[in-house]
Structure 1
Amino acid sequence: MGCDMQEAEPMVLLDKKIVEVKISNSKGFGGMNENSFLSIKDKESLNIMEKAITTAMKQPGKADIKDPDYDVMVKYESKEGELPTHGLHLWLGEEDEQSMLMYIADDSVYLTSAEMTRKLRELLQIN
């Protein structure tokens, strides 16, 4: 195996407190489905979502993949008038597989661990 000089780059979020994560069925690349089927607000679940995102590692090359499974809207604590959010696409892996994340406006792919996929599947209640 060759030596890869590029350092693994984790996905980043704003340095603000996350107050809600909304999950919706994706309608495809580049857009956000506003009709969420799940709103996550409890601290433990938010921590799982945040860890899944911030431990996902950037993969080399450009994505050539099917449409995403889900859209993920990360909402941050904000002052009145501000609406800081992050829109992500999620491809949820099967049990013991990695999941894939991508920023809405980007084509870089980030992979989670199989362990994070398990936690995401529990969180989204997908068996």
Structure 2
Amino acid sequence: MKKIIFHILSMTLIFAILLGCQSNGNNELVDAEVSKVSISKSSGLGKVNSNFFTVYEDEETLEIFKNIILNAVKETVEVYIVNPHFDLELIFTDETKQGYHLWLGEKGQESTLMKIDDIPTIYSISEEMTKQLIDLIQ
């Protein structure tokens, strides 16, 4: 059932992209230089699960995450939100933190990202960048 809901969500996002979603540079997603990315299985909307299974601090991987987030496309459609697969916590060089929910697609699919403190707004992540996320997370 979850897989069906995820596929419906994915198809909705693809349809929205075909109708002409807007990209805004997503500077609101990344405010400063990232110094650390921590990943956990999500425990639900509105908070980051602090039981991280992976932490990245190397410059190359941090740049990949920053590019993924900066290239995510803001969606302008309303969708039914199911529980996210993963939570990401980015820690910036100024020591501020930002949490994100991630719905990770399979290879050949897009993924979806959402700021934890901006639940109605979602961002789609390209198939190519989804592949990079899969490689980093699994």
For the superposition of Structure 1 and Structure 2, which TM-score range results when normalised by the shorter chain? 0.7 to 0.9
Change (3 A) 1:10 1:64: farther
Q: 1:3-22 counterparts in 2 under 5 A? A: 4=20, 7-11=22-26, 12-14=29-31, 16-22=32-38
Identity of aligned residues (%): 32
Which one-letter code corresponds to 2:112 in the other structure? M
Shift of 1:3: 7.3
Contact map agreement 1:62 1:109 (CA 8 A) in 2:
no
Q: Secondary structure at the match of 1:53?
A: helix
2:100 to 66, 88, 98: 88
Q: 1:1-127 counterparts in 2 under 5 A? A: 4=20, 7-11=22-26, 12-14=29-31, 16-78=32-94, 83-106=95-118, 107-124=120-137, 126=138
Structure 1 residues not aligned, in runs of 5+: none
Structure 2 residues not aligned, in runs of 5+: 1-17
Q: Secondary structure at the match of 2:37?
A: strand
Change (3 A) 1:60 1:17: same
Deviations 1:46-73 (A, max 9, x none): 1111111110001112331210000000
Count of residues paired in the alignment: 118
Q: What TM-score do you get using the length of structure 2 for normalisation?
A: 0.79
> 4+ residue stretches of structure 1 with deviation over 4 A?
none
Q: Report the RMSD for the aligned CA atoms in angstroms.
A: 1.7
Q: In proportion to residue count, which structure has more helix?
A: 2
